[in-house]
Amino acid sequence: MSKYIFNNDTDILEFLEQLRENGIQIWGEGEKIRYRSKNRQLAPETLRILKMAKGQILDFFRMIEKNVIPLTSIQTAYVVGQTAGCELGNINAHYYIEYTIESLDVERLEQMINLVISKNDALRLIVTHEGKASFLDNVPYYSVPVYSLYDGNDREQKRLERSHHRYNYYKWPMFHFCVGKTSGKTSVLHVDFDCIILDAWSAKLLLNEIFSLYYGKDVKFPRISFMNYMRLKTDKGDLEAEEYWKEKVKNMPSFPKLNYQKKFAEVQNVRFDRIECDFSFIETQRLYQKIKNYHFTPAAVISTIFMKTLAQYSETPGLSINVTLFNRQLLHEDVNGILGEFTNNAVISYQEKTDSLLDAIRATQEQMWRLVQYRKFEGSNILKMLSSGRAGKAIMPVVFTCMLEGNVSKVTKKRYSFKEEYAISQTPQVVLDHHVRDDLGYLKISWDYIIDIFDKQYITDIFGAYVNNIKKFMEKY
């Protein structure tokens, strides 16, 4: 018989979760294993395993305790958002992407994925039942499943299966890679993950690392882990920021009052669809040159046009939106290479005080500088100020997620021959999430929206008006 009952941390985790599902809770106390069972007695086989694997299980408990850190406020919000008691909840925060590639070497891809897993502890994150994050040290080799892709229906079926997948926070892994093989040379790579382990910037880093390694390029992994970064991070109270937001929320307009087909509380099946537009390289260059001429930032311009467009369809001319902030504190020189969930959020507003778009952009840019100035202030506290005790309500359900670098080149960096063809996200308590990016070599805008909330033609019309308003800015100013 093998010296060890379990081969890795995930084997032990799965065993403990199975016991928990059967009403049995196991924990370590010094050199002893303790348990609590609703049936008072444990099955003989369970007792046998606990006795034989006592050392492994106690070591596992020590490892979990050694690696434990608090969840961030965003991660906590994701956990709460999975519960059915939240408006627009009962889903996880999730991202899904599809790539096509010619002559894919699945074995090599698999090797590179496993190398990246070994170098990044965020990919080994689990949530404990005490509501904290911890990181597994010893996980099994990750095997990439392959399926036969005979036609578009097979691909669509896999998309339906993975695009809104719900992960168990107490199990590993919270990501998935699989490959569809056609009869020819083309393969489809499906990637999805729970956003509790990675924010959008980290997801981009993850895929760049894997693709770079696949093509034999050197990758410099960070010399600091996500766990150690979080232990160094400070969230000291910022009285100036708190006073700013307390004053700000007094006159802050509500979220866009669009033509929602249902009340948020009536939506039972929260499922998202995507509408998107790719601007050409030339159009993107022209837009960025205009922005540069006015000394604006791309984020300020795009978000203002977004809010101005929504205001044209909203019941009220003033509105506010939730803004995603990627908040990495400069605690180590390798901080920008760490994979993890660094997201904070804040709120910006739009008031139709003038017909001048340029004045509106200036007002937005001033707000964004404030967001940078007070970026350590928890966005969850802003939402609490706005909620006025309305627990479980979707307070600021329209989101602006910006991943603009502000410059583009004809050569798309680090993507090689992996061609992104489809993507979609979902987030609890969000009706519309606007993603804007330029890392593909051009400006790409997309809206992920809840199908049951918006009439398809209605949301398509608003999106079309938004695209036209961006083009007008390129041409008019």
* 23-53 pLDDT tens trace: 999 999 999 999 998 877 889 999 999 999 9
Q: Stretch 238-267: mean pLDDT, rounded?
A: 94
At 363, list the tokens: 């007002």
Range 94-214: architecture per CATH: 2-Layer Sandwich (3.30)
Residue-wise pLDDT for 444-471, tens only, equals 999 999 999 999 999 999 999 999 999 9
Q: Percent of the chain, pLDDT > 70? A: 96
At 280, list the tokens: 């050409």
Evaluate whether 94-214 and 234-476 have a shared fold.
yes
Q: Which of 417, 407, 435 is nearest to 96 (CA)?
A: 435
Phi, psi (deg, nearest 5) at residue 403: -125, 45
Class at the top of the CATH hierarchy for domain 234-476: alpha beta
Sign of CA dihedral 53, 54, 56, 57: positive
Give 376-396 as a DSSP string: TS-HHHHHHHHHTT-TT--SS
**Angle at the Cα of 251 (from 249 to 256), degrees rounded to 5?**
85
Boundaries of every domain in the chain: 9-66, 94-214, 234-476
Give 352-372 as a DSSP string: ---S-HHHHHHHHHHHHHHHH
Position 3, amino acid: K
Phi, psi (deg, nearest 5) at residue 435: -100, 135
Position 266, amino acid: E
Q: Give residue 1's pLDDT band: very low, low, confident or very high (50, 70, 90).
A: very low
Claim: this prediction has a pTM higher than 0.85: yes
- 398-403 sheet: strands from edge to edge: 272-278, 444-450, 432-437, 398-403, 319-326, 343-350
Which pLDDT score, from 0 to 100, does residue 2 have? Answer: 47
85, pLDDT greater than 90: no
Which pLDDT score, from 0 to 100, does residue 35 have? Answer: 92
Report d(CA 86, CA 78) in Å as an integer: 11
Report d(CA 427, CA 282) in Å as an integer: 33
User: CATH assignment of 9-66, given 1.10.20, 1.10.10, 1.10.3470, 3.30.390?
Assistant: 1.10.10
CB 397 within 8 A of CB 433: no
Sign of CA dihedral 300, 284, 449, 464: positive
Residue-wise pLDDT for 170-217, tens only, equals 999 999 999 999 888 999 999 999 999 999 999 999 999 999 999 999
Report d(CA 370, CA 245) in Å as an integer: 10
Bridge partners for 24 per DSSP:
37
Q: Stretch 398-423: mean pLDDT, rounded?
A: 81
At 383, list the tokens: 């939402």
> Which own/partner contact pairs does 52-58 have at CB distance under 8 Å and 24+ positions apart?
52/5, 53/4, 53/5, 53/6, 53/12, 56/4, 56/5, 56/6, 56/12, 57/12, 57/16, 57/26, 57/28, 57/33, 58/28, 58/31, 58/33
3-state secondary structure of 73: helix
Q: Which of 221, 273, 324 is nearest to 431 (CA)?
A: 273
